Structure 1
Amino acid sequence: MSSADGERDGGAEGAPPEQLALIRESVRQAKVPRAKPRTWRGAELAGELPVARVLVDKGVLHLDRYFDYAVPAELDADAQPGVRVRVRFGAGRHRVRDGRREGGGLIDGFLVERLAESDYSGPLAALAQVVSPEPVLSAELLGLARAVADRYAGSLADVLQLAVPPRSARAEQKPSPAPLPPPGVPEAGSWGRYERGAGFLEALASGGAPRAVWNALPGPEWSDEIARAVAATLASGRGALVVVPDGRAAGRVDAALAALLGEGQHALLTADAGPEKRYRQWLAVRRGSVRAVVGTRAAMFAPVQDLGLVVIWDDGDDSHSELHAPQPHAREVLLLRAALDKCGFLLGSWSCTVEAAQLVESGWARPLVASRDQVRLAAPLVRTVGDGDLARDEAARAARLPTLAWQAVREGLKHGPVLVQVPRRGYVPRMACAQCRAAARCRHCAGPLEAQDAGVLRCGWCGVEENSWHCPECGGFRLRAQVVGARRTAEELGRAFPAVPVRTSGREQVLDTVPGTPALVVSTPGAEPVAEGGYAAALLLDGWAMLGRPDLRAGEDALRRWIAASSLVRPQGVGGTVVVVAEPTLRPVQALVRWDPVGHAVRELAERAELGFPPVSRMAAVAGAAEAVAEFLAAVELPPDAEVLGPVPVPVVLAGGPRRVGGPTVGERWERALIRVRPGSGGALAAALKGAQAARMARGGGDVVRVRVDPPDIG
């Protein structure tokens, strides 16, 4: 199976010992006369194809295989491939009666196929129940789930939990509407601004499968452009799937599709719809009533029939990375779908990730960009705090709101709303020494000290108050805000501009839109509302805080967030201005000034190629207690080109401190090792890790070891 990022994995050079043992056992059983069940506990079984091959819903690696069950005659009609079933499962509680197994606990599963005979030589238990005759697992979806499980060293059952939504009986009982006839071929519209935009739509409308990385121009037209690509695909008689990072973006594409195609041509799959409505929409897609889907991360598995195009918007957003095992990324899943279904592929964003640049450099996809003249017409003017500003304001570089920023706010408020992007929410989340800028830490647990709302200094982890802090680095006693939060920023701006309304958008309340009247809109990254007519100006504050993160993607992520906010500002031809408060000579800042995210991504890709970092290489992270990690690394049979980095200690999680999903619990001391392989060995690495983890789980006991393929953070 080819990996989703353009490498050509040919599979493992050799199977792990555990898999070889399973193969030998299968060969041994194949020599034994196969079971041909006809009765079970005196009851007659299905006359034809009396064996059901079932995938049980047990997300453990050593049970990641199919199990055979006998099909009673009364379940013959409903027990069809793809339906949900319940079976008795559980070693130690089975007993044999009348030559057949019975007992064990009931567990859910999927019926994968019906067979005339079983490879298993012993007695077979019977299906306990067909939960629903609705076939929810197609052969195409099963193949995709298996490919995802193999890529991420996970179990098939875990992937299917992400791919197939929970059942709603009322939703199944309601018939889906009849499919509407395909729409006509749409006009190119704003796609004409791109050098190959019209040709991309023509290829989709004619039944082709073009693959493109699309660097979208700033402005609100992106949702309409996606809708036109979907409409062109539908015009060819095929289906389309669009995955966006959040519900607000899904709502914009949903509205654009409704305006272009009318109602009934597409389905919206988001968590906001509720379980029953979402499952009803999902069933309409599976039954073929609807051939276009727009949704958030979970929609990447939507069972669209005759898939002709997959689209992902803003692939660098963290929301595209699944938190549940095996933690796949929506971009990689859609790349797998494009390869398996031989359909078109469109990766779009205002910015450009390193993975997107690699797709173009490898030749797997073509660039879909606008000319520099079009970029200058659509983008706002970007200004930084440079040498000229320092000459007029010596404190400009150190000040959080230098003179240039205040001037931009005053001028922008004369013409419309002004956006202020702040890296953190809250009041004053973090404090630092005013003299040497060292982070202020708690003396009890080394957690970060915070200044609460007009309150005392308190540790953000253990909650202990600090009344006599002094800097251990320089001995200073004065503190300054390391990163001022959104609420504190809104308060400061409200005092500076008392006659102007101030709105905030963040985790507590995310605004979707704001009026086009003068106002200050303070937002955290990713929560910026859309202003009617666009913002007159934008301030990007505390850039050093975003660029200073100890992470491989710090520069790429900061540029992506800056460009996303700046794309909501009016073009420079009508006065749109962006002021970024960051060191002007840094590469991401210069890429923002030139509005050249593609060039930045290409340079980042070249540097990672020299250093052997992803996506040029494939990596996996192994984390757990020190002894468990060492035992795992000693047992796993890695590919010959594998390189183990570490292990190194993982920061201890203290009471009240941040905790990642699947990470250590409070007080645990973990270590993490990174395993790196060259392109082409990703499949072998995943197979080796999966085999070793399965063998470890089968033995039972011992400390937990977490394995993650392609971890998003390796810094």
Structure 2
Amino acid sequence: MPADPAPAPAEPAQPSQPVARVAVDVPLAHLDRPFDYRVTPEQDAEAVPGARVRVRFAGRLRDGFVLERAATTDTDRVLAPLHKVVSAEPVLTPETSALVRAVADHYAGTFVDVVRLAVPPRHAATEKAAAAREAARTDGEPETPWPAPRADPFAAYPDGAAYASALRAGRSPRALWQVTPSAAPVSDWAAGFAAAARACVEGGRGAVLLAPDQRDVARLEAACVAALGRSRVVALVAETGPAARYRAFLAAAHGRAQVVVGNRAAAYAPVRDLGLVALWDDGDDLWAEPRAPYPHTREVLALRARQSGAAALFASYGRTAELQAYVESGWLRPVAQARADVRHAAPRVRVGGDDDRALARDPAARAARVPHDVFTLVRAALPTGPVLVQVPRAGGRLALVCQDCREPVRCAFCSGPTALGEGSGATMTCRWCGRPQVDWECPVCGGHHVRSPVVGATRTAAELGRAFPGVPVLQSSGEGRLEGVGPTGAIVVATPGAEPPAEGGYAAAVLLDTTLLLLRPDLRASEEALRRWFAVVALVRGGADGGSVLAVGDSSGRALQALVRVDPAGFAVRELADRAEAHFPPAAKVVTVDGAAPVLQEYVGLVHEPPGTETLGPVPLPQREQLPGSDGEPLLRLTLRAPVRSGGALVRAAKEVAGVRSARKSDGAVRVRVDPVVLG
């Protein structure tokens, strides 16, 4: 009798949600939207939201992310199937996807440009190991014990303890922590961040803590490990390599680590139940992403805090106009010590030649680059510890100044920096709007002659070595940066940003050539100079321990006055008011467009600016600046600025132009930046 035929294999069940909406890696602005694809029964289990896929688009295979699954589609065409599910690991969470979309819209960019910043490249071996580790986990694993509580510097500030209590209770306070600049423990921002993160984790939520460079990230990571334990903390930085970065990313996504520390690469970290985002020193230019659409990490975290309802903590020694705008709008609440406490904790700061007695001793104190006061301070401080001398980097291009009073030469129309052409009889023009400055007259002294000052930094160390024979003179700069110095007497000459910390703090510090930092052809020159000076003050022992700082410059300048008073808040208030008067960020929305002359001519014809928009330029850019696809053509810059209330409309208009040019396949590259950090 013949055997019964084998039963036919059962057909896979059809997916209940057969449509996958995919963000396809297509760098064209007019295609900045998700596309629908069909999920086959074999792909149903793996094509989860957030998974990496390969799809066929315009005849080519491209990468993409599944954003969501749906039961129906809006298109009438037959959907193409997903070509392949690369990985079932949901690396793009719904929260991250919403943040990427918000950042792209805020900066007139595209989703795929921002998602490259948010999700690190896949490392297959690391992903496989992480999946095996997740499969081996059990709910009964014992919880990692907490380290003993450590001192919280933030608690020494008014409302600091209340902030931590609110985090522990699951609330979401937003604060600007004005850290008093000093080498004293009360100014240990890393320990304060770690204490805030511990309070957040004790409340059942996670935290993202960011610092600008690798040295600060290492300091912050060490503080967090000491406060929370190794297993709760990961460092997410690109510098560690693709495997380590992806491992840290997955640890946060799987909930194994509740706290992520890092630099701007960690701003989008997929921390579960996010309760706190914190950022140190938002004025550092490292926070500005150098790749399109050039988002600033401060704004990314602000957008993320708004979307997720998380708490926010921004901290620094100085204060940017952007954070001051947040304070004045009520979005951030300042947390700072009382003036009496600041005077006690911070070193004593004074300006050379700022009193009659100093001038009587040294009549040239206000004109000399290194007045007698400097040698007196160094001589008195060396027996008790090292002395730091900050010298601006030599060779930088500086703005023009009045030859008589050294007042920066600004454009009479837009208040921009000026430049002088080559050769005799060259015309002085504005670097923002391009207008010639005819018959210029200094508004301070009435002078009509200008000059471009030059600083020499290397020579300073040799001069101090001759003045103090037998004393070690060390140098620290970007090319040869010292990691730290000992507590014994030595002179350390450093350029801005390369000042090494000293064991126990410096006994004194000297700020030379302060005027030169203020003359950078940049809207933020004064703000940046004060930020760098406060960074030096923070390395010096507190006033109660005899710490002292001497600045050499014009004591009537606003930035130096704020330095002497240790008053970053007062400076930020006036800086924001000046920005509002001059119509510059954050009191206005600015969009810069770089490209060749024909490209900008087309751009001007396409853009539909909102009412009240001003158009400046175009003006030529330095020849060293080039764009991919520009074929070496000279680049020009067009600047559009609008009131804050019209800022969103201006950004949308810029994005619409990008879409039109993309659809037209217009020739010529263009670079669009929204509220660029450098306006000069």
- Give the TM-score normalised by structure 2: 0.85
Q: Which residue of 1 aligns with 2:73?
A: 118
**Unmatched 5+ stretches in structure 1:** 1-42, 91-103, 447-472
Distance 2:32 2:511 in 1: 49
Match of residue 613 from structure 2: 643
- Separation (CA, whole Å) in 2 of partners of 1:393 and 1:425: 27
State the match for 2:117 in structure 1: 162
Give the secondary structure class of the aligned counterpart of 2:651: helix
Find the residue that maps to 2:492 and give its secondary structure. strand
Task: State the alpha-carbon separation in 1 of the partners of residues 397 and 590 from structure 2.
Answer: 33
Q: How does 1:509-528 map to 2 (within 5 A)?
A: 509-528=480-499
Gap change, CA 1:637 and 1:665, over 3 Å in 2 = closer
Task: Work out whether 1:394 is the aligned partner of 2:358.
Answer: no
**Aligned residue in 2 for 1:309:** 276
Instruction: Say whether residues 1:354 and 2:321 are aligned partners.
Output: yes
**Which one-letter code corresponds to 1:142 in the other structure?**
S
Q: C-alpha distance in 1, partners of 2:422/2:607?
A: 40
Deviates more, 1:286-295 or 1:62-71: 62-71
Q: In the alignment, is residue 59 of structure 1 matched against residue 14 of structure 2? A: no
State the secondary structure of the residue aligned to 2:267.
Answer: helix
Maintained 8 Å contact 1:185/1:205: no
1:236 to 203, 206, 213: 203
1:282 aligned partner: 249
Aligned to 1:368: 335
Partner deviation per Cα, 1:164-186 (whole Å, 9 max, x = no partner): 00111111112357694695995
Quote the offset at 1:187 in angstroms: 6.8
CA distance in 2, matches of 1:161, 1:134: 16
Query: Any conservation in 1 of the 2:621–2:637 contact (CA below 8 Å)?
Result: no
Aligned to 1:128: 83
Q: Distance in 1 between matches of 2:350 and 2:285?
A: 28
How far 1:424 sits from its partner (Å)?
Answer: 0.5
Q: 2:303 aligns with which of 336, 343, 364?
A: 336
Residue by residue over 1:283-313, the C-alpha shift from the partner in whole angstroms, topping out at 9 and shown as x without a partner, is 0001111111111011111111111111011
| CA drift at 1:515 | 1.4
Q: Which amino acid aligns with 1:194?
A: Y
Shift, 1:188, TM fit = 6.6
Give the CA deviation at 1:345. 0.7
The residue that corresponds to 2:647 in the other structure is 682
Structure-2 residue corresponding to 1:692: 657
Does structure 1 residue 673 correspond to structure 2 residue 673?
no
SS at match of 1:414: helix
Which deviates more, 581-590 or 701-710?
Answer: 701-710
Question: Take 1:431 and 1:61, find their aligned partners in 2: how far apart are those partners?
Answer: 37
1:213 matched residue in structure 2: 176
Partner of 1:652: 622
Contact 1:618 1:710 (8 Å CA) reproduced: yes
Contact 1:50 1:115 in 2 (8 A): yes
Q: Which deviations, in whole Å up to 9, do the C-alpha atoms of 1:53-83 show, x marking residues without a partner?
A: 2111122211111122222333232221111
Deviations 1:492-525 (A, max 9, x none): 3333334222222222132332211222222221
Match of 1:105 in 2: 60
Which residue pairs with 2:413 in the alignment? none
Among 102, 106, 109, the alignment partner of 1:151 is: 106
Query: 1:190·1:221 contact (CA, 8 Å) conserved in 2?
Result: yes
Tell me, yes or no, if the aligned pair for 1:652 and 1:666 is still in contact at 8 Å. Answer: no
Quote how far apart the aligned CAs of 1:490 are: 2.5
Q: Residues 328-383 of structure 1, C-alpha deviation per residue, up to 9 Å, x if partnerless?
A: 11110111111111111111001111111111111111110101121011111112
The verdict on how the C-alpha distance between 1:501 and 1:184 changes in structure 2, with shifts beyond 3 A counting, is: closer
- Tell me which residue corresponds to 1:384: 351
Residue 323 of structure 1: CA displacement?
0.7
Contact kept? 2:594, 2:600, Cα under 8 Å: yes
Match of 1:414 among 369, 383, 390: 383
Q: Distance in 2 between matches of 1:83 and 1:305?
A: 17
C-alpha contact (below 8 Å) 1:269/1:282 kept by paired residues: yes
Match of 2:41 in 1: 73
- Cα separation, 1, equivalents of 2:452 and 2:634: 32
Is 1:182–1:235's contact at 8 Å kept on the other side of the alignment? no
State the one-letter code of the partner of 1:190. P
**RMSD in angstroms over aligned alpha carbons?**
3.0
Change (3 A) 1:531 1:633: same
- Does the Cα contact within 8 Å between 2:148 and 2:227 map onto a contact in 1? no
- Tell me the CA shift for residue 602 of structure 1: 0.8
Separation in 1, partners of 2:452, 2:615? 37
Q: Which moved more, 1:205-214 or 1:189-198?
A: 189-198
The answer to whether the 8 Å contact 1:268/1:295 transfers is yes
Q: 1:397 to 1:210 in 2, by over 3 A?
A: same
| Structure 1 counterpart SS, 2:209 | strand
In structure 2, do the counterparts of structure 1 residues 425 and 131 end up closer, same or farther at CA, with 3 Å as the change threshold? farther
After alignment, is 671-680 or 225-234 more displaced? Answer: 671-680
Q: Aligned partners of 1:52, 1:429: CA distance in 2, in Å?
A: 53
Q: Secondary structure at the match of 2:324?
A: helix
Letter of the structure 2 residue corresponding to residue 424 of structure 1: R
Cα offsets for 1:378-428 (capped at 9, x unmatched): 1111121235334322333333221111222222211111111121068x9
The residue number in structure 1 matching 2:670 is 705
- Preserved CA contact (<8 Å) 1:45 1:70: no
Residue 220 of structure 2 corresponds to residue 248 of structure 1: no
| Residue number in structure 1 paired with 2:285 | 318
Summarize deviations over 1:533-566 as a string: whole Å, max 9, x none.
0001111111111111222211111111100111
Letter in 1 for 2:563: L
Q: CA deviation at 1:273?
A: 1.5
Instruction: For 1:201, give the aligned amino acid.
Output: A
Q: Distance in 2 between matches of 1:540 and 1:710?
A: 31
SS of structure 1 residue aligned to 2:277: strand
Query: Size of the alignment, in residue pairs?
Result: 622
1:483 aligns with 2:455: yes
Return the match for 1:201 from 161, 164, 185.
164
Equivalent-residue separation in structure 2 for 1:328 and 1:88 (angstroms): 30
Counterpart residue number, 2:435: none
| Equivalent residue for 1:142, pick from 89, 97, 115 | 97
What residue is the counterpart of 2:590 in the other structure? 619
Helix, strand or coil at the partner of 1:677:
strand
Letter in 2 for 1:391: A
Sort the Cα spacing of 1:311 and 1:51 in 2 relative to 1 into closer, same or farther, 3 A: same
Q: Deviations over 1:119-156 (max 9, x none)?
A: 22223332222111111011110000001011111000
Tell me which moved more, 624-633 or 186-195. Answer: 186-195
The SS at the match of 2:644 is coil
How do residues 521-540 of structure 1 correspond to structure 2 at under 5 angstroms? Answer: 521-540=492-511
Give the aligned residue type for 1:530: P
**Distance in structure 2 (CA, Å) of the matches to 1:671 and 1:54:** 37
| Structure 2: unaligned runs, 5 residues or longer | 1-10, 410-418, 427-447
User: 1:160 offset after TM fit, Å?
Assistant: 0.2
Supply the distance in 2 between the matched residues of 1:336 and 1:46 (Cα, whole angstroms): 39
The aligned counterpart of 2:433 is none
Question: Could you tell me whether the CA contact under 8 Å between 2:21 and 2:36 is conserved in 1?
Answer: yes
Distance of 1:47 and 1:213 partners within structure 2: 49
3-state secondary structure, aligned to 1:691: helix
